[in-house]
Homo-oligomer: A and B are copies of this chain.
Amino acid sequence: MSILVVGSIALDDVETPFGSRKRALGGAAVYFGLAASYFTEVRLVGVVGSDFPSSHVDLLAARGIDLAGLQTVEGETFSWGGKYGYDFNARETLYTHLGAFADFQPAIPERFRKTPNVFLANIHPNLQLDVLEQVERPALTALDTMNYWIERTPAELRAVLERIDILIINDSEARQLAGEPMLRKAAARILEWGPELLVVKKGEDGAVTFTRESIFAVPGLPLDSIVDPTGAGDSFAGGFLGYLAATGDRSPEALRRATIYGSTLGSLCCEAFSTEKLTDLEPQEIEDRFQEYKRLTHFEHSPFLLDA
């Protein structure tokens, strides 16, 4: 089943200890869409300026992403400049130029309105609500947000949380949103507000998913090299929701596998600059990385102290 993503499309300037890229393809909807495209049909809604290279449009189209919801307006594309040191969990934002994104009003094309799965990437909660008004009873809705909205628009954010199934945010955002330093308690509180599933991304330290009944955690896979972690969180969301959308399976076992597919796409994303790694993956490469997570985490229990 197809998935609709609404969010940013960007041209990023990125510096890391290993190199840099200027005006590289980026944005939450782009990373999400590319990652999810390995699992299912992706429909994208977003906005770019008149400076957006047609080669980037071609690249998205080549992954089968339906761009009927791509608006092009006069002016500049949203642009983000960031710098990483050796601690890739921390980054410095050099600038944010909203450009065309400042006045973004998501318009969902008629033929996208019955898309069964919807991902609302990090935008103003009122715009996220507006998208939910335009779509028709999706089977699965998921949301990302950030500290900016948690601090500035808490009521609007709570309103949209009441209407979605899955919240995908990072560790510090989860604690901040709940006003609770212990992650397990923070998760319990957030799950009372609407979502049935909370996915907490921890960067290099993996991810944890909480339902009201259980917790699943995956550690970070130590990589030989991290080239550029930009977009890893949105790639995680793309792998996670792409798998759920493709299978239509929301069993506890499927949610665990979705967390591994999310980690898989997130970790692959980090191995090259910008979207370079996400544009021509082989299915075998994705499954091999999934298996690597299995080898990384697998153990058998034998109750030693009770047998002894």
Contact = CB atoms under 8 A, between A and B. Distances in A.
B205 A205 contact: yes
A283 B305 contact: yes
A187 B224 CA distance: 11
A169 interface: no
21 contacts: A39-B304, A182-B226, A183-B222, A187-B222, A206-B219, A216-B299, A217-B222, A218-B219, A219-B219, A246-B304, A246-B308, A247-B304, A256-B298, A256-B299, A257-B300, A257-B302, A257-B304, A259-B299, A287-B305, A290-B301, A291-B301
A259 B305 CA distance: 15
B181 A299 contact: no
Interface in A251-308: 253, 256-257, 259-261, 283-284, 286-287, 290-291, 294-306, 308
A221 B216 CA distance: 9
A299 B294 contact: yes
Contact of A297 (B184, B217, B261, B286): B217
A4 to B, nearest CB: 21
A120 to B, nearest CB: 25
Nearest to A296: B217
A305 B40 CA distance: 10
A68 B225 CA distance: 49
A220 to B, nearest CB: 7
A208 interface: yes
Interface of A: 17, 38-39, 86-87, 181-185, 187, 202, 205-206, 208, 210, 214-226, 243, 246-247, 253, 256-257, 259-261, 283-284, 286-287, 290-291, 294-306, 308
Contacts of A308: 246
Contacts of A223: 182, 184
Given A221-B217, A304-B247, A87 B181 contact: yes
User: Which of A39, A217, A256, A299 is most buried by chain B, counting CB atoms within 10 A of its CB?
Assistant: A299
Nearest to A257: B299
Given A86-B181, A208-B222, A257-B304, 10 more contacts: A184-B222, A210-B222, A215-B296, A216-B299, A246-B304, A246-B308, A256-B299, A290-B301, A291-B301, A297-B299
Contacts of A184: 222-224
A88 to B, nearest CB: 9
A6 B277 CA distance: 49
A17 B182 CA distance: 12
B306 A287 contact: yes
Given A221-B217, A222-B184, A257-B302, A297 B294 contact: no
A203 to B, nearest CB: 10
Contacts of A187: 222
B224 A182 contact: yes
Nearest to A85: B181
